[in-house]
Amino acid sequence: MRRLIGALAGVVAITVTVGTSIQAAPTDASWLDAEWDSAAVGTLDCGPGGSPFTTRASGKLLGGSLAGINLDDLAELDGISGVNDESGVAITPPPPQSNSLGDNAYANPLTVTALDTLQVSLGDLLLLPLNADLGVDNSYVRVNADGTSTGATGAVSNSGAIQTTASQPGPNPPTFATLQLKNIVQSALGQDLSTAIAGLADASLEVGAVASNATLDACAATWTGSILSSLQRQYAVAGVDLDLTSPTVGTLVTGTTGVINGLDGSVEALAGNAGVLSSLTTGISGLVNTVLTTAGLGLGSVTINNLAVNIDLTQVNGLLDDTISDNAGIVSIDLLTGQISIDLDGLLGAAYGTSGINGLPANTQLLINDDIINALTAATTEALVNWVDDLESEIRDALESLTLSAQVVVNVLQGAGPPAASVTLSIPEVSLQGLIDGDPVVTTSVSLAGGASCTVLTLVLCTALNTVGTLLAPTISASLGAALDAALFTSATNVLATTRAALLALTDPVITLVANATRGLFGEDSLLSLTANAQNSPDPANGNPEPAWSVPGPDPATGSTGQYDVAALRLTAVGTTVQLDLARSSVGTSAPR
């Protein structure tokens, strides 16, 4: 048993710890504490049955102000508060709405009725999961006459312990709320989101289960003269996703569709491709020049006629309505709806070196700065490049599986005049690989200039032409196949490479949009601000940034503590009074009676 008569001197630190399912150290160490160490003259007994204290605590799922609605005053808003003073324990809302748990502890779990009524009040600014498992949300207080008190809310148990973690198990982790940022920006700032941030049609913040817990031993704080040694505040957030919707994604898909649809034309255009003709001419020349020279003939032009191509692009087009993502799952893009989802847990957790956005110091502003934008840009780029890789793979398969038929016409010169004759080699429909392998049966025909026929006078010419046809028939398909294969896959300007380059160029506007939209919403000089582990300081004299909560501080004359709050997340509209607190718990003020 400890007693002190007269002035108090801080000599012993006693910390009360509430059980929790997350491993979070007390966050109050980030405060610079100016301790107070005096009290009214008297006897203070912190032992069992010792000096009685007035204690207070509360827990509220939503607080603050939004679109002119004071959420702290909404009777429908789920929450609980308690005070234990000379008159006994008073709980708001009183039992039976709040459940007595014994030992001055009470809980007020979220109900369907409260949720429905609350949703009507909030309108289209904040959407609550009306079909969610309501067992995840609870509000809890415990107010004891020995000076100990606890306030908790959100995903907390009937002992006030936090029950949520950064990665909830199961396919459908609990969702606390969806904040409609477009409507909040319009309501708070009077700005249209698409005007404020070019290319952004809509934005929302999907917040997973949230929780906070505050505990205080007021008697120990008075005895030691230190609030910090007797105050503990914790929070947890099971995921935060920023969802962006933009027509830029639709433009990407439309442009990609155009590139894919143009593949037929690109392949057919190879009939006049200089590289293909040059490669084909080179191959033919090596075979027929000796025969033609012996007959006094020369090799003229080579043309490809009646090229017919059949490409099956079904698998390629099947990728146009996918949801794509980077390897770490930071950014996902729904190509069908145009929605871009950013996992802020993963993005910011890597930047802060924490597990998601849990375990951060008090009042950490989740600022989208240059370093985070660079990481986000890398993730967005990776997601889109992964998609282009998939498209390229399917396009390669389609090109390798294409079938075609054609006629190769070899024009023969006699002297310096016009072509004297031609040899036409007809290639039946065959796959590209079959063409390369020389599989098809090629038929040949000989035509003399002017429609002349083979006679004794043209015997030498006709014999030479027939020899040319005989030489080319077994190899012309392989020569054409090799030339087309190079034009499709290996030359400097091949179809596959130019198609990939065109697809990558289409992704640039999406990458720019994601960076600009995220910076515009939560960056420096942004529209909104998001703070994790929002706390007011144990000592109002400290200059730490803190929420705009009007709460009394410690009073050395009476030995009372201040009121100490913690919210899992706090959203503000910059330059306005809009402040939305998610899962806010508090303890105090407490004082000897």
**How many other C-beta atoms are found inside a 10 Å radius of the C-beta of residue 527?**
21
Chunk the chain into consecutive blocks of 10 residues (it has 593) and report each block's average pLDDT, rounded to whole numbers. Answer: 32 31 32 32 68 93 78 71 96 93 92 67 70 67 96 92 63 74 90 94 94 95 84 93 97 98 92 90 88 87 92 96 96 97 90 82 90 95 98 97 94 86 94 92 91 78 90 91 94 94 98 97 93 80 56 76 92 86 93 91
Domain ranges of the chain: 27-227+538-592, 257-312+401-487
Neighbours of 390 (CB within 10 A): 15
Q: Is 480 exposed, middle or buried (0-12, 13-18, 19+ CB in 10 A)?
A: buried
| Residue 319: per-residue pLDDT | 97
Helix (H) or strand (E) holding 495: helix 495-522
pLDDT at 29: 30
pLDDT at 40: 39
Q: How many CA atoms lie within 13 A of 27 on its CB side?
A: 28
Position 21 scores a pLDDT of: 31
pLDDT given at position 354: 76
The model's pTM:
0.83
pLDDT at 77: 65
Per residue in 297-311, pLDDT tens? 899 989 999 999 999
Q: Which long-range CB contacts under 8 A does 366-370 form with residues at least 24 apart?
A: 366/522, 366/530, 366/531, 366/532, 367/522, 367/523, 367/524, 368/518, 368/519, 368/521, 368/522, 368/523, 368/526, 369/523, 369/524
Query: With contact defined as beta carbons under 8 Å apart, do 569 and 59 qualify?
Result: no
CA atoms within 13 A on the CB side of 239: 20
